[in-house]
């Protein structure tokens, strides 16, 4: 009898299963783009908190089944809140209304659970079975995916060459800034797609001594392969042979954003490596950097308010947190910034910190990934915060152009400061990894292999500008693409002999990130 009594107690596992389900479901939905390590922290926190709550209620109620039922009610309401709110988000005071409804449902659940005289054994078993099914379904998808990934032996491309060079012949070591402005289109594409004249900013760059590659296109139409290519100075099409065209895990590309040829070359030749991350987890930080400037505010940053600690969490944990009732309670009572306000503050912070780099004595390589003019659109052209309501009242084109104008203003301020404050003129590469998505293409179901030439041009034609002081820039040309940026730079300043690669552009098939499609002839300038 004691054995069966223990099993009946053990059946009260449904609170833990319901708590685990949102994590596994979110991970399974994004398993190809999220590292398994991303779920460790939220799983530990959620299961630990659920278990503590279950034990406390057990001690208070002296009834494990009632305690389990109350915890499960709370967990379901807690994690379903954000999804329910998204269905009524257009209603006035939707958050306030839903908080009231959820509160009433919880109080009603507590009242009925405590008052019932039933032993709840059957209900407990049923809930545990339902919880187990919910967990098993995404777990199977995750296991199948991980088995497929584990079966792949992903290699790397051949090294681009010897890292160490003769610095006596290389000359003065300049600070090097590689500044990525995510989704920044070329001047001509801004005119064609948005009716916006960006000539004032382009002329500013030229007046300051930049070479603007007016016919440049990205090498790949998505951030991960684009940066993996430019930072490793190689096309990454060889990965297709390594993993196969049907492989859907982005891990091999993401790993190339951590350990790449450019930082290795510069580190071997005396450079400090400073990484300015973004909220996108593959570039949030770099384990190889001497210093990581996170995409959040830190103490001592003047009049910019410090962001809460959870804004420093990985992107997966933040997405999970934003689905919970706690996040929206914080918002309702103005206890935290929402993600739009956080983005507005962190962008200003990053520009401020980037302007301080000239104060570092050692030669410095800076990788800075800005989610600008990338959405969310949180800036008007004056740099004021744009509320969600104000954002919705504007057209897509207006929102994008307004944020781009502000981006230009901050870039002008930054460039002026870097050039004025640097004892040795810095090298600056100002570049987009991709351009903005054309209308109706920014969703997973869109088939880029079926995109029109106009859509491909809008996605591939990018801003690409070089400030290369005290160097013969005759080797630069209008259609130079990101894959050749550091090949050319190292040849100019370090006496290397890297061969320039053909400038090609690729997209990929839906759901198949390693099945590349050459679109060069469709996107190149006439």
- The structural domains of the chain, with segments of one domain joined by +, span 2-150, 176-443+464-523
Q: Among 263, 19, 53, 274, which residue's Cα sits nearest to residue 163?
A: 263
In the numeric block, which tokens belong to residue 424?
């040795």
Asked whether 461 and 184 are in contact (CB, 8 A), the reply is: no
Residue with tokens 């029109």: 452
Neighbours of 511 (CB within 10 A): 12
- Write the DSSP string, 492-509: HHH---PPPPP---EEEE
**Terminal alpha carbon distance of the chain:** 84
Q: What is the 3-class SS of 353-412, one letter each residue?
A: HHCCHHHCCCCEEEEEEECCCCCCCCECCCCCECCHHHHHCCCHHHHHHHHHHHHHHHHH
Distance CA 45, CA 26 (A): 16
Pick the CATH number of 176-443+464-523 from 3.40.50, 3.40.720, 1.10.760, 2.60.40: 3.40.720
pLDDT in tens for each of the 526 residues of the chain? 444 444 455 578 999 999 999 999 999 988 888 888 889 999 999 999 999 999 999 999 999 999 999 999 999 999 999 999 988 877 778 888 999 999 999 999 999 999 998 889 899 999 999 999 999 999 999 998 888 777 665 555 455 555 666 655 556 799 999 999 999 999 999 999 999 999 999 999 999 999 999 999 999 999 999 999 999 999 999 999 999 999 989 999 999 999 999 999 999 999 999 999 988 889 988 999 999 987 544 333 333 333 344 445 677 888 899 899 998 888 777 776 677 888 898 899 999 999 999 999 999 999 999 999 999 999 999 999 998 889 989 999 999 999 999 999 999 999 999 999 999 999 999 999 999 999 999 888 899 999 999 999 999 999 999 999 999 889 999 999 999 999 999 999 999 999 999 999 999 999 999 999 999 999 999 8
Asked whether 237 and 508 are in contact (CB, 8 A), the reply is: no
Asked whether 453 and 522 are in contact (CB, 8 A), the reply is: yes
Pairing of the two strands 427-431 and 464-467: antiparallel
Enter the DSSP assignment of 469.
T
CA dist list (Å): 293 to 303, 337, 357, 457, 513: 18, 20, 11, 34, 29
């Amino acid at each position: 009898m004691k054995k069966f009594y223990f099993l009946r107690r053990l059946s009260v596992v449904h609170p833990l299963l319901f708590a685990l389900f949102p994590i596994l479901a979110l991970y399974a939905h994004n398993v190809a783009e999220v590292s398994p390590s991303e779920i460790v922290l939220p799983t530990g926190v959620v299961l630990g908190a659920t278990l503590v709550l279950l034990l406390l209620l057990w001690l208070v109620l002296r009834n494990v089944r009632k305690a389990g039922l109350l915890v499960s009610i709370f967990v379901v309401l807690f994690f379903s809140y954000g999804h329910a709110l998204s269905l009524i988000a257009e209603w006035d005071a939707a958050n306030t209304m839903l908080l009231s409804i959820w509160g009433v449902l919880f109080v009603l659940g507590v009242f009925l659970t405590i008052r019932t005289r039933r032993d709840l054994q059957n209900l407990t078993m049923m809930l545990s079975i339902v919880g187990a099914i919910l967990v098993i379904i995404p777990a199977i998808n995750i296991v199948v995916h991980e088995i497929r990934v584990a079966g792949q032996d992903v290699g790397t491309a051949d090294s681009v060459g010897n890292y160490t060079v003769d610095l006596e012949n290389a000359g003065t070591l300049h600070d090097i800034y590689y500044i990525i402005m995510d989704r920044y289109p070329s001047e001509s594409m801004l005119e064609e797609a948005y009716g916006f004249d960006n000539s004032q900013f382009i002329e500013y760059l030229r007046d300051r001594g930049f070479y603007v590659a007016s016919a440049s296109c990205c090498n790949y139409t998505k951030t991960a392969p684009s940066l993996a290519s430019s930072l490793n100075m190689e096309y990454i099409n060889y990965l297709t042979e390594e993993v196969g065209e049907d492989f859907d895990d982005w891990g091999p590309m993401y790993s190339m954003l951590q350990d790449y040829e450019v930082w290795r070359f510069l580190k071997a030749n005396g450079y400090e490596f400073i990484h300015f991350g973004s909220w996108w987890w593959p570039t949030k930080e770099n384990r190889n950097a001497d210093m990581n400037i996170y995409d959040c505010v830190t103490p001592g940053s003047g009049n910019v308010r410090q962001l809460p600690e959870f804004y420093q969490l990985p992107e997966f944990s933040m997405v999970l947190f934003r689905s919970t009732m706690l996040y929206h309670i914080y918002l309702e009572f103005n206890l935290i910034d929402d993600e739009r306000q956080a983005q507005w503050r962190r962008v200003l912070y990053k520009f401020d910190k980037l302007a301080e780099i000239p104060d570092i004595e050692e030669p410095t390589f800076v990788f800075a990934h800005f989610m600008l003019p990338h959405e969310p659109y949180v800036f008007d052209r004056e740099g004021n915060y744009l509320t969600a309501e104000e954002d919705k009242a504007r057209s897509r084109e207006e929102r994008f152009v307004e944020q781009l104008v502000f981006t230009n203003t901050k870039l002008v301020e930054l460039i002026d400061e870097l050039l004025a404050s640097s004892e040795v003129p810095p090298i600056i590469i100002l570049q987009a990894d991709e351009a903005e998505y054309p209308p109706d293409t920014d969703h997973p179901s869109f088939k880029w292999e079926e995109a029109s030439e106009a859509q491909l041009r809008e996605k591939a034609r990018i801003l690409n500008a070089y400030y290369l002081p005290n160097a013969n820039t005759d080797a630069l040309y209008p259609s130079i693409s990101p894959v050749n940026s550091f090949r050319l730079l190292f040849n100019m300043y370090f006496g290397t002999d890297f061969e320039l690669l053909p400038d090609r552009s690729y997209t990929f098939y839906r759901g198949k990130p390693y099945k590349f499609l050459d679109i060069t002839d469709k996107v190149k300038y006439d």
